[in-house]
Amino acid sequence: MATYAMPFSRVELTVWAALALLAFITRLAGLGLRPLADAEAAQALVSWQLYQGLAVTHASYSPLLATANLITFALWGATEFTVRFVPALAGAFLALIPLGLRRYLGHMGAIAAGVLMCLSPAVLHLSRTLNGEILAISGAALFFIGLVPLQDKANMQPRSGVITIVAGLALMVIAAPLAYSMVVLLLTFGGALWLAQRGSRRPPWGEIIARWRSEIQARKSALITILIATFAAASGLLLNRDGLAMTVDQIGVWARGFISTTGTVSPTFQSVEPVYPALWLLGLYEPLTLLAALFGLGIALGRRGPADLLLVWWFCGGILLDALRPGRSVGEVLLVLWPATLLAGLALGKLTEMVWQRGAWPREGIVVAACWVVFAFAYIVFTLYTNNYGAIWQPLAAVGMFIVLLVAFWQWHGTASVLRGAALAVATALALLHIAGGVRLNYTPVADASQPLVRAAAGEGLRDLVAVLQFVSAKKVNDPYLVEVLASRAVGPAVEWQLRVFPNVRWVHKIDQLPVEGASVGMTSRFPEVVLTPEDTLLTDEPYAGQDFVVRSFRQPAPLAVSAFVRWYLLRESQPQRLEKVVLWVKQSPTTHVPKK
């Protein structure tokens, strides 16, 4: 009988340890440097309000993230680092999930999938921002691990797989609406598989179901514990009465994604640009994963095991669901990216094994080295072309050189060696683009809103706003936090999050003349010492001075010429953006001075 034991070699253990270290470093390094964008801040404010014992004012959020951040706030305080800590851990965990798929992917395939997931620009970005999709896809990955034993027809005993499956489902449902896309894919796959196998003697589905029932009975106590933990996580450890209702409401949020909508990305700016399709985003940020996944599709279809077919269904069905959901979120790219990474791991694992078993440096090594010389030349001439320093024939000449080079090596070494060498050369070149795109996307001081994966980013003026407000408060009331502030909610969640440490902020929906508490009847109404508005005017006769701060930026869609697009793809330079500001108004007196930026 087949066994699921696959002993680790010392080298493999070292590789996985290094991969785990890299996953944590890339996700935690500088995690709190960027200020929270509006979508992140809206989620963070839910946990902050629960932590402060206040009523939750935001209509849509992830119950799991609300509870997780409530715990991190209690342990380490509310900062940009702690609020992103749980998604970062989930992202690191996601990079290590292929470790549980070594039997399915193979030793090298699992390592390849882990490396791709660890260095994925999209996964890295979503791991370093506050969102529920990274947690939901982690649950989906756990679910898949629980189903993989069915791939081995000689050993269909589920063992502890039922616990992994239930835990994955629970994690998905309380994390994000993305869970219901996964549920649809699972239900349709189950229905299609049942129809395909109806009337066939293999596999014995009745026997498999009976075994799962017995396993559920044997693991009843563990499953009850998971359900209790799920209830506690959804209800904010019983502190969030609306958490369970929000969990159920995520079905409606997911359903509304099928309706074409412009979406609100800020309080005052309506986004008219839909989220880019998943395939387009993968082509921009994950070319190696996408290309290898196409070869992995052929491998999975050739093996035709239940797990293989599920992975193919997941990938293709995810692309279809993504196309049918114009109201999708950016994080839903993970629904396609995760199965694509596993398929890519299958393909790259096979390539590595073939090179290791049949390759030789005098053949494949020379092909790789020669191809890399051509790639370096192509990169240079493409860059020159985008700067108008060359003609179009030069980049095309690089492509021609690559083709001629392969034909020449084919004559000398044969088809197999040339294909292996060319595949290695292309894979390593695309891997560099993979890494460069991830660094430029995730490690700048402020997120670049012109990046298709970002679209709306926090502005560089958020932290300046807090510093100036602290200075004004110290001048007005001899304390950097206690000044009275009247603020419009139209300034947005990102600003509201930054002002959470100021206890005397009064939030209103519209700035208007408000009477001063304790003022005598007939006294002219006035504003407090400090007012914060999204407008550049303040309707009052009192002496106020205003200073504006850029608090958010948006992608400004603009058509790009071919050369401009190639330059952006190679260098990822920032494109034109739309900026949005708020104005801090300070009542003037002979001794008041508002510092300029």
- pLDDT by residue (tens digit) across 239-251? 988 899 999 999 9
Tens of pLDDT along 345-395? 999 999 988 888 876 767 777 878 888 888 888 888 877 777 766 566 666
206 vs 243: which has the higher pLDDT:
243
DSSP three-state, residue 563:
helix
Q: Give the pLDDT score at 273.
A: 62
H helical segments located in 235-333: 243-256, 278-285, 287-303, 306-324
Q: What is the mean pLDDT of the chain?
A: 85
DSSP three-state, residue 492:
coil
266 vs 537: which has the higher pLDDT:
537
Pairing state of beta strands 577-587 and 456-458?
unpaired
Cα(575)–Cα(536) distance, integer angstroms: 26
172 vs 364: which has the higher pLDDT:
172
279 vs 55: which has the higher pLDDT:
279
Consecutive H or E run containing 7: none
Q: Give the pLDDT score at 207.
A: 62
Q: Provide the Cα torsion 287, 151, 187, 125; round to 10°.
A: -30
Is the pLDDT assigned to residue 522 strictly greater than 50? no
396 vs 133: which has the higher pLDDT:
133
515 vs 483: which has the higher pLDDT:
483
Q: Give the pLDDT score at 211.
A: 66
Burial of 156 from C-beta contacts in 10 A (0-12 / 13-18 / 19+): middle
List, in order, residues 6 or more apart from 229 with CB less than 8 Å away. Answer: 170
Among residues of the chain, what percentage have pLDDT more than 70?
A: 86
Average pLDDT over residues 405-426: 79
21's tokens: 């270290």
DSSP three-state, residue 373:
helix
Q: Give the pLDDT score at 348.
A: 94
Cα(68)–Cα(51) distance, integer angstroms: 11
pTM for the model: 0.90
List the one residue out of 544, 548, 558 whose CA is nearest residue 580. 548
Give the CA radius of gyration of the chain.
Answer: 28
For residue 58, CA distances in Å to 247, 311, 462, 553 come to 14, 36, 21, 22
Task: Tell me which of 120-129, 418-427, 479-488 is least confident.
Answer: 418-427
Helices 287-303, 415-442: inter-axial angle, 10-degree rounding: 130
Tens of pLDDT along 536-582? 778 777 888 999 999 999 887 777 777 778 778 888 888 888 899 99
Q: Give the pLDDT score at 288.
A: 94
H helical segments located in 414-481: 415-442, 461-477
Instruction: Assign 3 a pLDDT band (cuts: 50, 70, 90).
Output: very low
Q: Which amino acid is at 126?
A: L
Task: Tell me which of 289-303, 351-365, 486-500, 537-551 is least confident.
Answer: 351-365
Asked if omega into 203 is within 30° of 0 (cis), the reply is yes
Pairing state of beta strands 505-508 and 485-488?
parallel
Q: Give the pLDDT score at 212.
A: 66
Cα(2)–Cα(408) distance, integer angstroms: 46
In DSSP notation, 29-45 reads TTTTSSPP-HHHHHHHH
Task: Tell me which of 26-40, 123-137, 302-316, 570-584 is least confident.
Answer: 570-584
Average pLDDT over residues 442-457: 90
Task: Tell me which of 108-122, 331-345, 366-380, 476-490 is least confident.
Answer: 366-380
Instruction: Assign 159 a pLDDT band (cuts: 50, 70, 90).
Output: low
Q: Give the pLDDT score at 380.
A: 82
* Sign for the pseudo-dihedral over CA of 274, 280, 282, 284: negative
Burial of 357 from C-beta contacts in 10 A (0-12 / 13-18 / 19+): exposed
Q: Give the pLDDT score at 318.
A: 96
159 vs 233: which has the higher pLDDT:
233
555's tokens: 């992608």
List the one residue out of 179, 181, 263, 258 whose CA is nearest residue 455. 263
Cα(296)–Cα(344) distance, integer angstroms: 5
Q: Are 586 and 472 in contact (CB under 8 A)?
A: yes
595 vs 166: which has the higher pLDDT:
166
List, in order, residues 6 or more apart from 390 with CB less than 8 Å away. Answer: 381, 384
List the one residue out of 431, 288, 306, 421 whose CA is nearest residue 347. 288
463's tokens: 């932290």
187 vs 570: which has the higher pLDDT:
187
58's tokens: 């935001």
**How far is CA 194 from its chain centroid?**
34
